[in-house]
Amino acid sequence: MNKNVIPIVIVLIAVIALVLIVVLKPKSEPQIGLVLKTLTNEFFQTMAKGGREEAEKLGVKLDVKSASRETAFDEQAQIVEAMVASKVTAILIAPSDSKALVKPLLAANKAGIPVINLDNPLDADEVKARGLKLVAYIGTDNVKGAEMSTRELIRAMGGKGNIAMLEGIRAADNAQKRRTGYQNAISETSGKVKEVAHDTASWETEPASNVFAAMLQTHPEIEGLFCANDNMALGAIKAIEAAGKTGKILVAGFDNLKAVQKEVLKGTIHCTIDQHADWMAAEGVKMAYKLMQGEEIPESDRVMRVELELISKEVLLKKQQEKK
């Protein structure tokens, strides 16, 4: 072989080898990101489960990440940033703060990553002001759910009496709307039901126990309590038991956690609301999958509301009977 040809052959072999490496290198599997408030709350565990089951059905990979607690806004922002850097195909997010998470999500927009808002709505004014583009909102009519729970609580109180509320994180849209629904239900009584106290326990059980214990010291006349989520309802009944008032104060919650179902059957919690967290995540994964396939999301699907269900002792007993 001509000595001048040998270097050319070597170069050609190297080029072919490089091309084969690039062509044959396995492509990274498309991945959807699911960002939750926390996995210490059973509600979000149910959401994660629903998302994973739907992803498995569709044959797509779902990366589930959460902050350590519901008030860890910065952790959620960091998770979003990491998902953008890893180039997920879509981000599904249940934001812990309706305003604080808008800015981090702008990076997803810039990277061409679609964003689907689950559960707690992002603040509409903040979204508009910053120019954040959202594919859709999938979640709850929080005003309606709180109205349903509070109305049932008031009915059980005989339509009159002194009522109080434990709120969620006040910066969260769903917390604000649940307070609105609660107030709407009270206003329907034309003054027969009076709110004597309200305070935040930031969605958490132990703070709720402490906050309500202090509330009872100041307002021993409380006869009914609406808790903006079930974790706080579980905390409140601890305070009620410690005060020796079990059975004397009716409690309503929101989320239908398994732990609360047990208390509803026992009678320590009167009712709660099922907002089907698994459905929210499953629908979010379905929507992200459609986007991955190049499908357009119709305008009619850009706001999807879960069907709310009032859960009482009677409802739970009926469900148990139907399973037999």
Strands 271-274 and 309-312: antiparallel
Q: Tell me the backbone φ, ψ of residue 142, rounded to 5 degrees.
A: -65, -30
Q: What is the pLDDT of residue 261?
A: 97
Calculate the CA dihedral of residues 318, 319, 322, 324 and round it to 10 degrees: -110
**Per-residue confidence (pLDDT) for residue 19, from 0 to 100:** 45
For the chain, residues classed under CATH 3.40.50.2300 are 31-139+277-293, 142-274
CA separation for the pair 122, 101 (Å, rounded): 8
Residue-level pLDDT at 15: 47
Cβ-contact 130, 107 below 8 angstroms: no
Indicate the burial class of 7 (C-beta count within 10 angstroms; 0-12, 13-18, 19 or more): exposed
What integer pLDDT is reported at residue 24 of this predicted model? 43
User: Cα separation of 12 and 238, whole Å?
Assistant: 76
Residue 13 confidence (pLDDT): 58
Q: At which residue do the structure tokens 């990277």 appear?
A: 111
Where do we find the tokens 């490496």?
A: 21
By the 8 A CB rule, do 134 and 123 touch?
A: no
Dihedral of CA atoms 122, 128, 133, 134 in degrees, nearest 10, equals: 30
Q: What is the mean pLDDT of each run of 10 residues along the chain (324 residues)?
A: 52 50 49 96 95 97 95 94 97 95 97 97 96 97 98 98 97 96 98 98 97 98 98 98 97 97 98 96 98 95 95 95 84
Q: Residue 144 is encoded by which pair of tokens? A: 């309606």
Those residues whose C-beta lies under 8 Å from the C-beta of residue 112, and which sit 6 or more positions away, are: none
pLDDT of 27 reads: 44
Question: What is the per-residue pLDDT for 152?
Answer: 98
- How deeply is 47 buried, as exposed, middle or buried, from its count of CB atoms within 10 A (0-12, 13-18, 19+)? buried
DSSP for 145-206?
Answer: HHHHHHHHHHHHTTS-EEEEEEE--TTSHHHHHHHHHHHHHHHTTTTSEEEEEEEE-TT-HH
State the SS3 of 37-54. Answer: EECCCHHHHHHHHHHHHH
Structure tokens at 115: 């964003």
Cα 122 to Cα 96, 98, 147, 172, distances in angstroms: 9, 4, 21, 8
Q: Report, at the CATH architecture level, how domain 31-139+277-293 is classified.
A: 3-Layer(aba) Sandwich (3.40)
Chain-centroid distance of CA 117 in Å reads: 9
In CATH, what class is 142-274?
alpha beta
User: Rounded to 5 degrees, what angle do the CA atoms 32, 55, 76 make?
Assistant: 40
Beta bridge partners of 118: 138
* Cα 262 to Cα 272: distance, rounded to the nearest angstrom: 12
